[in-house]
Structure 1
């Protein structure tokens, strides 16, 4: 029988005082980190935390409002009834989703690792957390979370050492477009940390690409992201809402044509430059067409200047980062994805689940997601992307309706989040890890 965490030992590891008087900050932790960690301690680490030994302990770089972090929260909520409570250790002080995790009853432990010099102390603290909590599996998310999970597990006595799983969520299609630190982390991980017990990817293409770089494990599996088909669904009223929002954000454009959307944060890998070229080409052929950019950074002045120089600013609504994508997506007439590198492009699955036609670059699992209900072009091929968009916009209404229905059916049948949940549970239990 596994013993529960010892609260006094755990607090020494995390440097959290038990009473209201603060203890001196350890040199490896910044004041900001401890302030953030105190928030997590107060709101997301209630006293029951030390009283259970989790089946799975997750380790992730931070809790930014991004794809992997939101996917992890959904996964924990969906599997808690079977696998029990699954605490999350975040390495950095990025805490955008701390409140969301806390509201879901997920315990979050913050290590405050924001500088490389702090890494050895943070890994040691993580090792102590593993020793005290005795999880059956440590699940590392992405490169840095996986590295930390493996290095910390190595320091744990063999009698209580958990199985280690890596979850890699990167496509590796355009190495030159990635930062130097990211490229180094990708190359170094399998050699610095050694093979994990289980290696998971969110796309088959990513698994193949990483295999060529030396990523190996006793068990390798694919856990596709999946989409919440009950949340992302067709909505007849969405088109009028989106048109009203467009008029609010682009009041000087009189056209009432189709709205083509691009949903992605501003990042070189998302290739907004190609999207702008595509929209400019469409505007020449369809003077009534309307465009919409959604994603962090799209509402910044420098991005709007790029639209102005391309001659499409007047007909383009920029919404920035949104938390209501599921309410906006069904109102689009078409979704365009121009990414140069993806693993599993969630936005395609979400759009299809809403019954929206899609045109995409051949990034990651885009072809497998779209099947025959969408259209593909090569990376950076603005001309063919534009031609595909115009072809779909020109479809007769009955054919367009059939395509929308087929997209929805494909999403429900093949891309549902329920499939990802089943695969995750199978991996945990199949690796010999039994629920607490």
Structure 2
């Protein structure tokens, strides 16, 4: 019986199954499930009646957040992380309010701080010449109708092919890759203007690739704040995909590719594009009521409203709306968004989310509908790398839920 396992080593470095289960807060049977999944190693002592476990390994597993039944038992997969906390209509990066971060620091500074814990004022990311050249060649080879997300997807693959050291997962190398990959993705997109920004910061360079409209200081401030606010948002679908890839020890380029794959779904990355098109229609028709009515009549959700993690207004939307107030060109679109919120509130209590605020920026800056998804993808790249760094410190392949087989029971006749 499992509860009769004894300790064969009286030094205290080995634990019985019962002792290991008590430390992990699980059933003895679950300890053996962890062994079968590669999360623990067991040893049978000579003359002992059961398996024993290394106490340090058990404690490390407990600290990593595996104090749960394996997901096959019916519980939800839980991953401990020190990156993002969403609590009481606030979002925090490492305990700091994201709205405050966006108000005081730019994207590159926050990304560097999130990766290393060090706030380096004025840091700028630059793309290596060879990786950028490869990414640009790949992007230029795409069909004319290709969108910015198509270009980002091939750019990250081309950049990976140009980096022979991409399989080096040491922390310093991963950090160097992160600092070079983000600007490579931005600079690989074709510019819509003739001049590159002088200061080399990321937001102006991204702006020049999304619109031909003039970039004044207030508008660039909104874009940079959006990049900061969108860096991470707990274990969203794309972030979970990135962590699964990191658990398998994929290199950082593959981590970002995994994130792009999940982001491509209509329920994740494309949400701001739907809000963009809706606001365009409100401005063209001059009536939010008519547009909202069309959505409700067709049984569609009104884009840009409601978020499952925020009972009230998405704090990221509130921060961007406040900054958009300072952009004169954005005021008509901002008013259209507020009309959508007020009109929908007559039927159901839904608050603005970040997709609506992002759509106000993209519409008012004459960007294409896909621009919001592009901003989201560039911003979230830093978050995926942060999660990869965290996951690289965990036991490999720990993200391996058990399937619950629902097919015919064997033996079945040969088809």
Q: TM-score range by the shorter chain?
A: under 0.3
Larger-gyration structure (1/2): 2
Q: Tell me which protein shows more helix as a share of its residues.
A: 2
Q: TM-score when scaled to structure 2?
A: 0.26
Greater RCO (Cα-Cα under 8 Å, separation 6 or more): 2
